[in-house]
Structures are given as structure tokens and as C-alpha cells.
Amino acid sequence: MELKVVVITGAGSGLGASLAKKYSNMGCHVCLIGRRASKLEETAKQLTNSYSIYELDVTSKSAVEKVMWSIKEEVGPIDLLINNAGLGVFDLAENISEEHVHDMIDINLKGTIFCTQEVLPSMKERNQGIIVNVVSTAGVEGKVTESVYCASKFGVRGFTESLVKELNDTGIRVFGAYMGGMKSPFWDGILTEVKMKDFMDPDDIADIIIDNAKLRKNLIVTEVVIKNKF
């Protein structure tokens, strides 16, 4: 299967931007999705191949439907969807506001579900396609001050594992990436640069995801856990 159209949510910075650059260098048309066009345009400046920018709030199912339809009409069938958009608000469980609870569940979990739902019919029609869910190690183990974030990511893990089973007899592949802390704007206002000095580089994580998401003969990789050395 030749990758032509790659869709990446949360493509304005961090891992999403790294993945966009690398897939662009591979000759793919990359569709950059995010809440702010200005951030997506910054990523686009670093791309070497054709691209499209779509402002999107992944928590809105109707908006997701519209954008995914537009991509299909303007660019072509989606070969690879990377659900990377995410939000984390960290505090003791009883201190997390109702708004932040909704935000994390809506963006991290519902956003992943809505985007996946929109690409599956076309992928099933062609019996090919790849879906990558960027989950984080918060989807593998509970963490102090990350209770709701973990709850949202455990949900994504359950969704991902179920998709693997649902699509087992098809040509569609689903891959979950469970990685630890990366150097990324995700941590702005949460952690200092000193605390992030030993965090992983998004480019390294992007390489691992790209390598493991490849279609290979007689084997599939359904998940990879990538942890910090410290």
C-alpha cells in the first residue's frame, strides 16, 4: 500500500509537527489539523511536499464529518489517520474542574473516536488504511495528579484494542503508541525546562511510530510502549 494522503490531528506543534515533516519528506500529501491555523501554518513552512490546512475542533462530530469529507473531495481517500490531538490538565483528583474534565474526555477520547468513525467507511470500502492512536503511557498506568487524563487515555486504549479486534480480518491496521514525556509545548505552564531536560525528543518518537506503523508481510504491530530512561 502506497501512502499518499496522511491526516494528522494536533499537527501544530510537538509530535504532530514532527510526524508531518517526516511524512512530507516521504512524499505524502499531509493534511494538518488543529484548532489554530496560525500554528498549522508554522508547521507547514517546514514541509517539503504538498499539504492542506484544516482548522478543526475534534470534539464536534459534525465539524469532524465536514472536514473529513472535504479532505476526501479535495485531496483524495485518506490512507493514514494519526489521532494525535490531546490535552492534559494535572492536579489532585478533587481539584480538577468540571470544565477540564469535559475538555480532556472530549478532546482525548471523543475526538479520537469521532475522527476514526469518519475514516473507517472509506477504508473498509477499499479494504486498506492505517489508523494510529497516540495514547501515552497514561493509557497504561495510573499516575499521581493525572487521574482524569489517565481516565481519558485508558478510554483511548480500550477503543484502540477493540478496533484491532474488529478489523483483524480486514486490510486495515490499527496501531497504538504509548509513550512517556516528550519535549513539547504540551507542557507549557506545567513543567519547567529543567524538569523536561531528560524528556524524549518528538523526532525520535515520530521515527518509532512511522517504523512500527508500516505494513509488513505476515506480521502486524498493534502497540508500542516507549518509556523515558529516567
Query: What pLDDT digit, counting tens, does each position of 190-206 carry?
Result: 655 656 667 788 999 99
Confidence category of residue 12, pLDDT binned at 50, 70, 90: very high
Segment 45-70, tens digit of pLDDT: 999 999 999 999 999 999 999 999 99
Indicate the pTM of the whole model. 0.93
- Please give the positions annotated as active site: 149
- Does residue 188 register a pLDDT over 80? no
What pLDDT score was predicted for residue 196?
60
3-state secondary structure string across the chain: CCCCEEEEECCCCHHHHHHHHHHHHCCCEEEEEECCHHHHHHHHCCCCCCEEEEECCCCCHHHHHHHHHHHHHHCCCCCEEEECCCCCCCCCHHHCCHHHHHHHHHHHHHHHHHHHHHHHHHHHHHCCEEEEEECCHHHCCCCCCCHHHHHHHHHHHHHHHHHHHHCCCCCEEEEEEEECCECCHHHCCCCCHHHHCCCECHHHHHHHHHHHHCCECCECCCEEEECCCC
Give mean pLDDT, residues 84-98: 96
Segment 22-45, tens digit of pLDDT: 999 999 999 999 999 999 999 999
Q: Which fold has domain 5-226?
A: Rossmann fold (3.40.50)
Paired with 31 in beta bridges are 7, 52
What pLDDT score was predicted for residue 1?
77
What pLDDT score was predicted for residue 195?
65
What pLDDT score was predicted for residue 50?
96
What pLDDT score was predicted for residue 200?
83
